[in-house]
Structure 1
Amino acid sequence: MPMTPRSGRQDHAGLTGRFLRGLAVNPRGTAVRSPDWSLSYEELHERALTWAGALLRATDAPLEAVGVLAGKGPESYAGILAGLYAGATVVPLNTDTPAARTGQMLRDAGVSAVVADEQGRALLAQAPGDIPALPLLAADGGTVPVDTAHALAEPRTPATEGTAYVLFTSGSTGRPKGVRIPHAGTSHYFELLDKRYDFTPEDVFSQTFDLNFDCAMFDLFSAWGAGGTVQLIPGPAYRELPAFAAEHRLTVWFSTPSAISLLRRMGDLRPGALPGLRWSLFAGEALRCADAEEWQRAAPASTVENLYGPTELTITICAYRWSTQTTPALAVHGIVPIGEVHEGHDRLLLDAAGQQVSGVGAEGELLIAGPQLTPGYLDPADGRGRFVERGGRTWYRTGDRVREVADGVLVYVDRLDAQVQVQGVRIEPAEIDQALRALPGIVEAVTVAVPAPEGDTALVGFYTGEAQPQAVLARSLRGALPERMVPRRFAHVPEMPLNANRKTDRAALRARATRLLGG
């Protein structure tokens, strides 16, 4: 029988309050599920209260941050909610990340205790020198005893100005950057979403994103705030997604646009193939008009939206609703607009000379100020050049060049720096370069990103020094970088090409990379 919620209070704000709202409207409904397991709102609530009590008792010092080192399973979802219930900052981590990098993140975030699944526990055990010894809570064992007698009666209320969670992005120094996401920013964000979308307890949300990627928080707390269900999408499901979507009654889809290319290759993007979807949302990469049009035909009852936002601006900061009739005329290079900046925020466009430009046709770097802005990185030095003071306010420089194509409507044009996005995750190629140069026999390294023939983004690493087999380089990098940061191809060159300014000719390297990939 489902357990009865311990607390009837619903006055909690922020992310905790959203789950409690879902608990109130749909207590016996499914909060999150996969094809192999499921947790109701009552079950997840009780587990989070029990684990939060255990975590709080596990440390002598105040519980500042809880690391969640687990795949998308019961441990990770209960761990995220338990950290929030304990009033701590949550730090989602990926079990596919190398141990040394994981240890660095745990230290940088000041993690006090860790919730882990079996794979996470193995990672902690494999490299104890790289990872600090911390209290460990795990369903199949650990150093933190779990006893329902010590469960919290109700979630703790965190300070509004505190940090809800920390996410790590790729850093050009070779060290990942920790981004602090404040409770106030998430509250503003989800209040706006509640106005924009008509989510209900009957909605079933896809979860395609890893939990250390900010868009996963959209899935969780949009669904939980409405009493809906989060449905994990396992890899095999993409082979027959229409059948999977029908079987599990998916109504809200959210992914990177790469999923559209994948379904096309599988032959599943047929007209009317996804009739049950009400909302189709895409973010993390540029959305092409051709892809949006094809998806719209496959999901004819669905409203298609393109969302945009750096991690530093709390998940997404712009939204644009696709229209077959009007959008193509506003597109730039066939790319769907990112839309208008969220209510309560201001934006600036600065040209190459740093001068503000405005009006339809204006193009420049996008700067944004407002309540969704992070208070900064864990290491303030990482914010140099990213945050600027102007007119008595703090603005975030996105590094993205955009164009205003209608009153308030923006279109992404390109990056101003070398940062790229692969499968929706921002990556600094300089970090990959540094890892390549650290390998024996490598002298110089330059990584570029180019469109792959199948429609996604691919990394190609060029290097000088000793020529080495592709497999050897890839295997060596996997010990230092996450899988998605390992280049798809490597190319040995006698020397790096230079342009007229005697700088590395990245355009020439990108052209060569495209040829290597058969583009």
Structure 2
Amino acid sequence: MTESLDPPVLHERFLRSLAAHPRRTALHVGPDVLTYEELHELALSWAGALLSGPEQPTAVAVLTAKGVVSYAGILAALYAGATAVPLHAGFPSSRTRRMLRDAGVSAVIADRPGLAALQETGLDLPVLAPASGGAQLSGHRAIRVRPGEALTAPRTNGGRGRAYLLFTSGSTGRPKGVPISHASLDSYFRHADRRYDFVPDDVFSQATEVNFDCHMFDLFCAWGAGASVHAVPARAYLDLPAFVAERRMTVWFSTPSGIAVTRRRGGLTPGSLSSLRWSFFAGEALLCGDTADWQAAAPGSVVENLYGPTELTITVTGHRWEPERSARLSVNGIVPIGTVHPGHSHVLLTETGQLSDVEGELCITGPQMAAGYLEPSDGEGRFLHHDERIWYRTGDRVRRLENGELAYLGRLDAQVQVQGWRVELAEVDAAVRACAGVVDAVTVTRPAPEGGLELVVFYTGAPVPPAQLARELGQSLPSGLLPRRYEHVEAFPLNSNRKVDRRELTARAAA
């Protein structure tokens, strides 16, 4: 008999801890606390309901706000042998409708906000809505949860299939579906298991929305170690040290914008986050100043800057913060993104398509790379054929540092022409942050009255007279690169993934 070569399926990480620690806490969301055993039984009952109909679902949308339904729903979709499709209940109905159709969703797990969002799409799909009464399912085919139909064990279509499907913003405005396989996730979590010493006593934060791929790190690193996951509500940032201390939190993961929010609420005093032993940041550029402040607040924590597009499965590089070394290696005050995960290869591509040893667009290949997009035409220009392999073009410009690590320079589309000058927006950001009174800065462009583009800076910190900012910047930037306008804001707007919303700032600048 030939042994199966299929890699493990994602939820085997949960099942392993279920067997070892059935009564330990797996999930804590608001007032709800579920053990591994309780969450397992809930997912089995929902998976059985999904499989009880005439059609076996191949893609199950989890259309929810953050809550028990979202986490149990993802597990239930995996238990049913389907592809989980986490969606944000707050997205516009036209976007949700397109994603449901593109993903080929045949069933939906929804909470109350998700059910309202589904009704706005006008689609008629079978719905499992655990917290809603039948009267609220008008216009939809209700999937009923019946005790006798619960699965006795999870089903699987084999580890070579899709585990989940996420959507990223497309350059055309149409979201691009990225299927992530069990095999890619197995490679990712094998690396995480080797690099980190997570244990059953760890308490993980879950600060991002479930449609953001980094939340899979929180769930399946925790569940793979027999640890617990604690959802972080927005109100926790009013006093994050108190929330972290109350939950005895040991592992934190958020976008770097979470640091600014915490600072603004007075939560970054030295030692205020003393229970943390691991801190991870990903999703946008991480500033050295922010990292130093977080490290002071969490002196017992190892801090890592992680990087990776959705197409490369959660994150694919990492840099471990060491104050003196990291600051010396930084470019424009941004913490390096580090080295590419073992088993992967990378090249740097110049604007003319030549390979560079120093600087260029980061292209990566390896076991974490997605096979492509749901719509094959979306992959045009994103995947590169080189040395008989396929590489993913990230669209990010990086520099290879003296020690072989990579420094993030910005998006390719963040390099713009202003009055004949080639401008790196990250360079302007760094120059503004160096001005007295400024804490952070984001530079965007808008059409200039005389044609072309001009720069607009939004900054946090103390309000500074524009003339003073221009005078200070004139000492480090050519006159042609000086911004035309400086806008002080109390805080940058954040998108649904809690990243700085540059589109919103660009719209403000244009207005």
Give the TM-score band, short-chain normalised: 0.7 to 0.9
Measured against aligned partners, the alpha-carbon deviations of 1:124-158 in whole angstroms (never above 9, x if no partner) come to: 22342xxx211100112450011121111111123
Q: Aligned to 2:91, which of 86, 89, 97?
A: 97
**Paired residue for 1:379?**
375
State the partner residue of 1:431: none
Question: What amino acid maps onto 2:63 in structure 1?
Answer: L
Aligned to 1:134: 125
Q: Name the residue aligned to 2:80.
A: 86
Distance in 2 separating the partners of 1:223 and 1:281: 14
Query: Equivalent residue for 1:498?
Result: 451
Residue 12 of structure 1 contacts residue 157 of structure 1 at CA under 8 Å; is this kept in 2?
Answer: no
Alignment counterpart, residue 366 of structure 2, candidates 347, 365, 370: 370
Paired position in structure 2 for 1:442: none
Q: Is the 8 A contact 2:361 2:394 kept in 1?
A: yes
Alignment of 1:480-499 (within 5 A): 498-499=451-452
What TM-score do the two structures reach when normalised by structure 1? 0.80
> Cα distance 1:393–1:496, how it changes in 2: closer, same or farther (>3 A)?
farther
2:14 is aligned to 19
What TM-score do the two structures reach when normalised by structure 2? 0.81
**Deviations along 1:318-358, whole A, 9 cap, x unmatched?**
00100023111111111111000001100001122211122
Structure 2 residue aligned with 1:432: none
Q: Deviations over 1:303-326 (max 9, x none)?
A: 000000000000000001000231
CA distance in 2, matches of 1:151, 1:73: 22
* Aligned twin of 2:389: 393
Counterparts of 2:443 and 2:397, CA distance in 1: 21
Alignment partner of 1:455 is 2:440: yes
Equivalents in 2 of 1:506, 1:342: separation in Å? 39
The unaligned stretches of length 5 or more in structure 1 are 1-10, 421-447, 463-492, 500-504
Matching residue of 1:308? 307
Within 2, Cα distance between the matches of 1:518 and 1:19? 43
* Larger relative contact order, structure 1 or 2 (CA cutoff 8 Å, min sep 6): 1
Give the C-alpha shift of residue 517 in structure 1: 4.3
SS in 2 for 1:22: helix
Mapped contact 1:258–1:456 kept (Cα < 8 A):
no
Displacement after TM superposition at 1:268 (Å): 1.3
SS at match of 1:368: strand
Instruction: Give 1:78's aligned amino acid.
Output: A
The aligned residue for residue 267 of structure 1 is 266
**Partner letter of residue 390 of structure 2?**
T
1:515 maps to which of 480, 486, 503: 486
What secondary structure, in the 3-state scheme, does the structure 1 residue paired with 2:262 have?
A: helix
Name the residue aligned to 1:343: 342
Q: Aligned AA for 1:332?
A: V
Q: Does 1:205 align with 2:204?
A: yes
Counterpart amino acid of residue 241 in structure 1: L
Deviation at 1:14, TM superposition (A): 2.8
Q: Distance in 1 between matches of 2:56 and 2:83?
A: 12
* CA–CA distance in structure 2, aligned partners of residues 103 and 176 of structure 1: 11
- Residues 95-494 of structure 1: matches in 2 within 5 Å? 95-128=89-122, 132-139=123-130, 140-141=132-133, 142=137, 143-358=142-357, 362-417=358-413, 455=440
Deviations 1:82-104 (A, max 9, x none): 00001100000001001111111
Gaps of 5+ in 2: 1-5, 417-424, 459-481, 491-511
Q: 1:248 to 1:456 in 2, by over 3 A?
A: farther
State the Cα distance separating 1:408 from its structure 2 match.
Answer: 2.8
Indicate yes or no: 2:50 matched with 1:55.
yes
**Paired residues of 1:261 and 1:456 also in contact (CA < 8 A):** no
8 Å contact 2:364–2:391 — kept in the other structure? yes
Moved more, 219-228 or 28-37: 28-37
Alpha-carbon distance in 1 for matches of 2:16, 2:50: 24
1:465 maps to: none
Q: Report the equivalent of 2:26.
A: 31
Corresponding position: 1:70 with 2:64? yes
What is the SS of the residue equivalent to 2:15?
helix
Deviates more, 1:400-409 or 1:44-53: 400-409
The question of whether the paired residues in 2 share the 8 Å contact of 1:258 and 1:455 is answered with: no
Whether the aligned pair in 2 keeps the contact of 1:497 and 1:508 (CA below 8 Å) is no
Helix, strand or coil for the counterpart of 1:80? helix
Contact 1:50–1:148 (CA<8 Å) still a contact in 2? yes
Give the length in aligned residue pairs.
Answer: 438
Change in 2 beyond 3 A, CA 1:497/1:177 = farther
Code of the residue aligned with 1:252 in structure 2: it is V
- CA-based RMSD of the aligned residues comes to 2.4
* Counterpart amino acid of residue 115 in structure 1: I
CA distance in 2, matches of 1:508, 1:27: 55
* AA matched with 1:19: F
1:397 and 1:364 map into 2 onto residues whose CA distance is 11
Q: Deviations over 1:407-466 (max 9, x none)?
A: 43101011112599xxxxxxxxxxxxxxxxxxxxxxxxxxx9996966375878x6xxxx
Deviations, residues 175-221 of structure 1 (Å, cap 9, x unaligned)? 11111111110000001000000101110101110000000010000
Q: Are residues 325 and 171 of structure 1, via their aligned partners in 2, closer, same or farther at CA, if it must alter by over 3 Å?
A: same
CA contact 2:399–2:407 (8 Å) conserved in 1? yes
Q: CA deviation at 1:159?
A: 2.5
